[in-house]
Structure 1
Amino acid sequence: EIQANHVQMTYYYLFIIAFMVLAYLWDAVRNHRLAQFGKATGVCFVAAALGVVINLSNLYHTWQYTQESMRGKSELVKKNSANQTSSGLDRDYITQWSYGIDETWTLLVPNTKGGASMPLAMNEKAMEKADPQFYQIYQQLGQYWGNQPGTSGPVYVGAFVLMLFVLGLFIVKGPMKWALFLATGLSILLSWGHNFMWFTDLFLDYVPMYAKFRTVASILVIAEFTIPLLAMLALKKIFDTPDFFTQKIRIYLGTSKHPIIAHNTTNMFWLWVSFIATGGMALLFAIMPSIFFPDYVSASELEAMKQIPSEYLGPLLSNLQEIRISIFTADCWRTFFVIVLGTAVLLLLRMKKIQPKYAVGAIIVLCLVDMWQVNKRYLNDGMFVERSVRETPQQETATDRQILQDKAPDYRVLNLASNTFNENETSYYHKSIGGYHAAKLRRYQEMIDQYIGKEMRDMQGAIVNAQGDMTRVAGDSIYPVLNMLNTKYVILPLQGGQTAPLLNPYAFGNAWFVDRISYVDNANAEIDAVGKIDLRHEAVADSKFKDALGEPVAHQSTAVVTLKKYEPNELTYTVNSQKGGIVVFSEIYYPGWTAKVDGADTPVGRVNYILRAINVKPGKHTVVLTFKPTSVKNTETAAYVAYLLLVLAIAAGVFFEMKRRKNETNELKK
C-alpha cells in the first residue's frame, strides 16, 4: 500500500510539472526565448529518461502487476456498466473518499468538519459541554462529521500561509503564478470526487492512468505544495521590493486602456483584501457558525441514530450540535488570531518597526507553531511505541500453534474471527485466504465479491448449526470455492476474544485431476460457470487456453498429485496417473508462471477463473512450476546501463568544468 501511495503521489506531482512547463513555455513565447526553452526542456527530458530507466525494473513490474490488479481493466462486463471505467477501478470505489465541497474550508480552519474520525469522548474540551447521559454514545461517535467514510485528519495548509497565497494572487506577476493557481484549483475540484462528478468523469474517462487511483481527496497534496509555494513567492516579492506597501498602484475594472472603474491606491489594498478573504471569513464563521454550516451531524450518523427512541433523539442531536459548534468555532477563533498576528508582522515591517530579517523569522515561527499545534492533534506522542515493542514479532496464539503442527508444505487458513479482508495478522504465520492489499489481483477480488464472501457466511452458519461437527456440514455444496482454494483450516471466534482452529476435511488439496472441462468465450461465462459445476471433478476455462490444456480423460481414482517442495516462486510436484489428463493446481494464476514436466516446457493454462492448470501424459512425472520472468533480468540490465551513462555524464561534466576553469585561469595569467 505504501508503494501504491508513492506512485499515486508521484502521478499527482506530474500535474504540477505540466502546469509549470506550460508556464515556462508561455514565458518563452512572450519573450522570444523558444530556443533556450527547447534546450532546457531537452536536458530535462534526457534526465527524466535516465531516471525512468534507472528505476525501470520497479516501474515496469509495477505497471505489469497493475494490469492484473483491481487498478487494471476488468474482463467482466458488469450490469452497472456506467460504474466501470475503461481501464481502472470502478467509479464508486475511486470516489468513495471524496472531499466535501464545504469541507474544503479545512484549508483555512482545520476543524471545519471536526478533524479525525476518533471518538468524540477523547476531546476533553468538547466533553465539557456534553450531557452526561449521552457519554456512552459519544464514545462511539467520531469527532469528524463530514461525509467521507472516515479520515485521519483534515487537509490544512496553515492560516497565514493561505492568506499569503491569496495575497500572492494579486501581487506576484508572471505565468508561474497562474500555473500554481490553476494547479491549486484543479486539485480542489478533483478532490470533490462524487460531489462534482461530471468533472471527475472527464478525468476518469480521458486522462491517462487517472482511473488507476482511489481516494480522490488525496489529490489535495497538490494544493499542499502549490499554496505554500505561491505564499513564499508573495513574501519574496514583499521583501525584495523596497517600500512595497507604499507603492502606488491602479486598480481597474475592464482594460487598462478603457477602464470601466479605476482607482488609485497602494499595495496595502491587496493586503487588506487578503486579510478579509481569510481572517474575515474565519471571524464570520466564529460569530455565525450555523449560518454558514447548518449541518453538524452526518447523514450516516443520522441513519445510525434512527433506532434511538424519539424522546432521547431530539436532546441528543441538540447537545451533539452544541458540542460540535464549540469545536468548530474554537478553531475559527484560533485561525483568526493566527492571521491577525501574521498581518501585524507585515504592518510592523511597513512602518519600519522591524527589520526584514526579523520579520521573516517571526513569520517562520508563527507558521511553524500554527502547523505544529494542528499536526500534533493527529500525530502525537501517544501514537508512538518503544522500538522494542515495534520490533516484537506478531504474537503466536494457541490457535496458531495448533495449526502449525501440520507440517504439510502448502495449505490455506481462513480466519473468521477477524475482518478477513482488512487484516494481515493471519498471514504472519499462515497462508491466508484473506489479507489486505490496496491493489488485490482483480480476478481474486471478483471471486471474493461473487463467491468467497457468501461462502464464508454460509460456512460459519453451517458450522454453528452443526456445533463444530464437520461430518454434519455439507462442505462440498456449501463452500466449493473455498475448498478449491485448499482451505484446510478455519479459525473460529469464541467468547472472550478467544479463537479455535477447525480442520476442514473437504479441502481439495494442492492439486487434482478433473474429468471434464468446459471452454467458454468470455469472462462472464467463466466466472458464472464456477458456481454451476462440481469443481472437484470439473473445470471451466476461457477458450484461449484450449490449445494449452486440451481435453481431460475419464476419472482415475488411482491418480495422485503430491506437492514435494514449496517456495514462493517454485513448486515441485510428483504426478502419477494411468491415463494422464488435466491437473488443476490450487495456486493463483498469474502471467509469467512456467511449467516443466520432467524438464520439458509445458504450457500453463487458467481454469476456474483464478487457478493454474496443465495437461500431463500418463505415467509418473515431476512437475515444476516456476516464476522467474526474464523481464527482471532485462530491465535490471537496462538500469545498470543507465547508471553507467549517468556516471559518465557526471564525469564528463566535471571534466569540462575543470577544463573551462583552467582555461580561464590561463587567460587571466596572460
Structure 2
Amino acid sequence: TALFIALQILSNHVQMSYYFLFVILFIVGAYFEDAWRNKTLPQFFKASGVLVVAALIGISVNLSNLYHTYEYSKETMRGKSELVETGDAAKQTSSGLDRDYITQWSYGIGETWTLLVPNFKGGASVPLALNETAMEKANPTYAGLYQQLSQYFGNQPMTSGPVYVGAFVLFLFILGCFIVKGPLKWALIGATFFSIVLSWGKNFMPLTDFFIDYIPMYSKFRAVSSILVIAEFTIPLLAIFALKKILDEPEVLKKKIKFVGISLALTAGVALILAVIPGAFSSTFVPAQEAQMLQNAVNQQMIPANELSGILSNLAEMRAAMVSADALRSFIIIVIGCMLLWLYYSGKLRKSFVIAGIAILCVVDMWSVNKRYLHDDQFVPRSAQVNTFKKTQADEIILQDTDPNYRVLSFSGDAFSENKTSYWHKSVGGYHAAKLRRYQEMIDRHISPEMQAAYRAIATAGGEMDSVDASKFRVLNMLNTKYFILPAGQEQTVPIENPYAYGNAWFVNNVEYVDNANQEIDALNTILPTETAVVDARFKDILKGITTAHKDSLSSVRLTSYEPNRLIYETNNSKDGVIVFSEIYYPDGWIATIDGEPADIARADYILRSMYVPAGKHTIEMRFDPKSLHVTEGIAYAALALMVIGIMIMVIVYRKKLSSPKS
C-alpha cells in the first residue's frame, strides 16, 4: 500500500493524484474507526506512520513538479484575476474561476446508469449515422440530418465516451457490499458514492459549492465528471474482493442468497427493464438544446415545419434502440457471469476455470466497449503523424528571416485552438488548457478584437501593408507580431510581413503609473506603447519613479542573443531611461543583470517586462533560473537516494533472515 501511494504521488497527472488523495482519506477514516472500535489505535498509528513516511518520500521525489505546478497555477486561468469584473459575482470563486466554467462538464444524475449500460446516454459525441443499431430505425428521408446530429444525448456539452465499469463487475461490486467484511469495504463504498455524487457537479450544487468554496485546490480543476476515476478504481477493487470471497467460500452464495437476489435486481433486473422499456429511467431521448437547435432550423426554413415532429419521433426511436440493445447486452453478460459462479458453487467447474472464464468475460465486455471509442481508424503510421506538422510554403518563407526573435500570428483557423503554427514559429496564438491568466485576459480584451480589425484592414488593402492603419492593432505590434499568415483558398496560406511590429524592445518617453489592473489593461485602448508604458504603481520604485524618460533619436536597444531561458540585449541611451521588452512578464524565476550587476524587472503594459536603465551603453541579460528549482531538485534527489538506501537495507535484512538457521 505504501509503495502504491508513493507511485500515485509520483504520477505527473496532478488532477488524478489529487483525486486519489480522497480515496486515501476514506481508507484512513475507515481503518481509524475500526482501530478505535477494537481498541487497536497504537497499531493503527504505527502503520499510519509508515504510510506517511512513504507518502512524504513520494512527494519529495516529485516535489519540483508539484511545487512549480502549484506556483504556476496561481498565474494561470486557474488563479484569481486582479481585474474587478461586473456582473453576477456569485459565480466567482475564491480562486477566480467561474462556477459555470468549473462545472461545465457535469455528469447527469440519470447519466450515472452508464456504469451499467454504456449507451444509456448514447455513448460519445459522434455522428448518429455511425451507429448501426440506431440507423436500422432511421427514416431514410432524414439520413443527411443524422450525419449532423450526435449519438450522445446527455447533459454534458460533449463527451468522448461514457464511464463504464463493466456489467458483471458492477454486479460483483454490489454483492461485495453485502458479503465482504472489514473496514476497507466501507472505505471503497464511501469513496464510490462520494465520487458519483460529486461528479454530478451543477446537477447537485450544494455539495459542489461546498467543495469549490472550502476544499483546497478543488476549484483549480475543470470537468468535475473526471472524479469518476475514483469509482472506476474502487468498484473493480471491491468486485475483486467479492469474487475472492466467493472463490474461498462458495457456500456464501447460499447463505447470502437474499443479497445475491438484490444484486441481480439492481443490475440484471435494471438492464432487463431498460432492454424492454428503454425510457424507463430517462426523461427524454432528445435534450432541450438539441430540440431548440432543430426548432431554429425550422425557423430558418432549413427544415420544413411539418417534418419537425416526425424527426423528433424518429430520433427518439433510434436512440431508444441504442439503449435497448446495450441494456440487453449488459443483461446477458451478467447472466453468463452468474452462471459461472453457480457452476462453481455446484462443483461442476474448477476454480481455475471460473477465474479464467470471468477474466475472459470481463475482457471481452470492456474490450468491445472500448473499441467503440479507441479503434484502429484512430491509429496512423508514424509518417502520417509527422505530416500533421508539414511545413507549408508560408512557413518556409517566414523561416528565412534571420531575426533572432519575432512572433507569428495565423489567421488560418482559430489561432487559440491550434498549435501547428507554434510547431514552426514563436506564435501569438496556440492552445494551452492553463494559459497565463493575464495573457488570456489580453486575448479577450485586446488581441481578439485587434485580430478582427487587422484582418479586415489587410483584406481591404489587398495585402498592401503601406495602406493599413497600424493603430488598429497596437497590442499585436507590441507583441512583436512580425508576420501574419492569411488564408489564400483551397487550404493554402500566404505570409505577410508586418512592418509596424515594434521589435524586441524599445525605450519609451513616458511612464504612466496606474492604481489597479483595470486601469492598466484599459489604458492600452489609448496609449501608443512605443511612446508610453503603463505600469502598476507597485513597480514604481523599481523604475525609480521615472515618469518622463527622455529618449532621443540615438536611443537604441538590440537583442543580440536569444534562447528561451536566456536573452542578451545591447542598449545605448544618453539619459536614464525605461525599456519595455516584448517578452511576457512572469513574477518568479527571471534574473536580470545590467553589465553583470543585479537589476530588477518590472511589469509594463499588463503583460510585458520593463527595466530602468541608466544612461550610456550597457549589456542587459535576462536568465530564467528559479532558486526554487535548485532547492526542490535537491530535495528530490535526496529523497530518491533515501528510497534506494531503504530498499537496499530491506534486501540485506531479508537475505539475512533467509540465511539464518531456523530455531
Q: Distance in 2 between matches of 1:100 and 1:652?
A: 51
Q: Deviations over 1:533-592 (max 9, x none)?
A: 222211212211111112141342331211111100011111122223110001000122
Match of 2:569 among 570, 573, 576: 573
Aligned match of 1:516 in 506, 510, 519?
A: 510
TM-superposed CA distance for 1:4, in Å, is 10
SS at match of 2:339: helix
CA offset at residue 434 of structure 1? 0.9
Distance 1:472 1:140 in 2: 43
Rounded to whole Å, the distance in 1 between the matches of 2:236 and 2:362 is 11
Task: Give the equivalent residue in structure 2 for 1:561.
Answer: 557
**Could you tell me which of 5, 13, 28 is aligned with 2:35?**
28
* Alignment map for 1:11-410 (pairs within 5 Å): 11-79=18-86, 80-87=88-95, 89-247=97-255, 267-305=256-294, 306-308=296-298, 309=303, 310-391=305-386, 394-410=389-405
1:589–1:610 Cα contact (<8 Å) kept: yes
After TM superposition, give the deviation of residue 423 of structure 1 in Å.
Answer: 1.1
Aligned equivalents of 1:485, 1:4: Cα separation in 2: 36
Task: For structure 1, list consecutive stretches of 5 or more residues without a partner in the other structure.
Answer: 248-266
Measure, in 2, the Cα distance between the counterparts of 1:458 and 1:140. 32
Inter-partner Cα distance in structure 1 for 2:393 and 2:143: 37
Q: 2:536 pairs with 538, 542, 546, which one?
A: 542
Looking at structure 2, the residues matched to 412 and 242 of structure 1 have their Cα atoms a distance apart, in angstroms, of 70
Moved more, 616-625 or 649-658: 649-658
Q: Is the 8 A contact 1:147 1:299 kept in 2?
A: no
**1:331 counterpart SS class:** helix
Aligned counterpart in structure 1 of residue 636 of structure 2, from 615, 636, 639: 639
Deviation at 1:392, TM superposition (A): 5.1
Q: Which stretch shifts more, 109-118 or 130-139?
A: 130-139
Deviation (angstroms), 1:315: 2.3
Whether the aligned pair in 1 keeps the contact of 2:273 and 2:280 (CA below 8 Å) is no
AA aligned to 1:370 is D
Q: Does 1:613 align with 2:613?
A: no
How many angstroms apart in 1 are the aligned matches of 2:275 and 2:520?
59
> Aligned partner of 2:417: which letter?
N
- Count of residues in Structure 1 that have an aligned counterpart in Structure 2: 644
- Provide the residue aligned with 1:594 in structure 2: 591
Q: How far apart in 2 are the matches of 1:328 and 1:588?
A: 51
Q: Secondary structure at the match of 1:140?
A: coil
Q: Is the 8 A contact 1:167 1:271 kept in 2?
A: yes
In structure 1, what is the Cα distance between the partners aligned to 2:438 and 2:265?
54
Q: Secondary structure at the match of 1:622?
A: strand
Residue deviations 1:421-456 (CA, integer Å, cap 9, x gap): 111111011111111111111111111122212221
**Paired amino acid for 1:456:** M
1:106, CA displacement in angstroms?
0.6
What amino acid does structure 2 have at the position aligned with 1:488? K
Is 1:453–2:461 an aligned residue pair?
no
| Structure 2 CA distance for aligned equivalents of residues 612 and 370 of structure 1 | 56
Contact 1:89–1:213 (CA<8 Å) still a contact in 2? no
TM, length-normalised to structure 2: 0.93
Give how far 1:391 is off.
4.6
| C-alpha deviation, 1:13, in angstroms | 0.6
Specify the SS of the correspondent of 2:502: coil
Matched residue, 2:7: none
- In structure 1, the residue matched to 2:5 is none
CA distance in 1: counterparts of 2:594 and 2:290, whole angstroms: 59
- Structure 1 range deviating more: 572-581 or 517-526: 517-526
Instruction: Provide the aligned C-alpha RMSD in A.
Output: 1.9
1: distance between equivalents of 2:189 and 2:447? 48
Percent of counterpart pairs with the same letter?
55
Q: Does 1:482 align with 2:476?
A: yes
Distance in structure 2 (CA, Å) of the matches to 1:562 and 1:133: 67
Code of the aligned partner of 2:58: G
SS at match of 2:279: helix
* Larger mean Cα displacement after TM superposition, 280-289 or 553-562: 553-562
Match of 1:499 among 472, 482, 493: 493
- Rate the CA distance shift 1:465–1:315 in 2: closer, same or farther, 3 A: farther
Aligned residue for 1:259?
Answer: none
Change in 2 beyond 3 A, CA 1:634/1:294: closer
**Structure 1 counterpart SS, 2:186:** helix
Counterpart residue number, 1:262: none
- Asked whether the equivalents of residues 274 and 327 of structure 2 are also in contact (C-alpha less than 8 Å), the reply is yes
| Cα distance between partner residues in 1 of 2:407 and 2:37 | 66
Using structure 1 for the length normalisation, give the TM-score: 0.92
Q: Is 1:583–1:613's contact at 8 Å kept on the other side of the alignment?
A: yes
Map of 1:627 onto structure 2 = 624
Relative to structure 1, the CA distance from residue 149 to residue 38 in structure 2 (aligned partners, 3 Å threshold; closer, same or farther) is same
- Give the AA of the match of 2:379: F
CA distance in 1, matches of 2:169, 2:105: 26
Find the aligned partners of 2:212 and 2:283 in 1 and give their Cα distance. 32
Q: Which runs of 5+ in 2 are unaligned?
A: 1-9
Counterpart for residue 6 of structure 2: none
SS at match of 1:548: coil
* Secondary structure of the structure 1 residue equivalent to 2:540: helix
Q: 1:393 to 1:333 in 2, by over 3 A?
A: closer
Alpha-carbon offset, residue 620 of structure 1: 1.7
User: How far 1:486 moved relative to its partner?
Assistant: 0.9
Q: How far apart, in 2, do the equivalents of 1:562 and 1:404 lie?
A: 20
Bigger drift between 619-628 and 389-398 goes to 389-398
Whether the 8 Å contact between 1:4 and 1:438 is mirrored in structure 2 is no
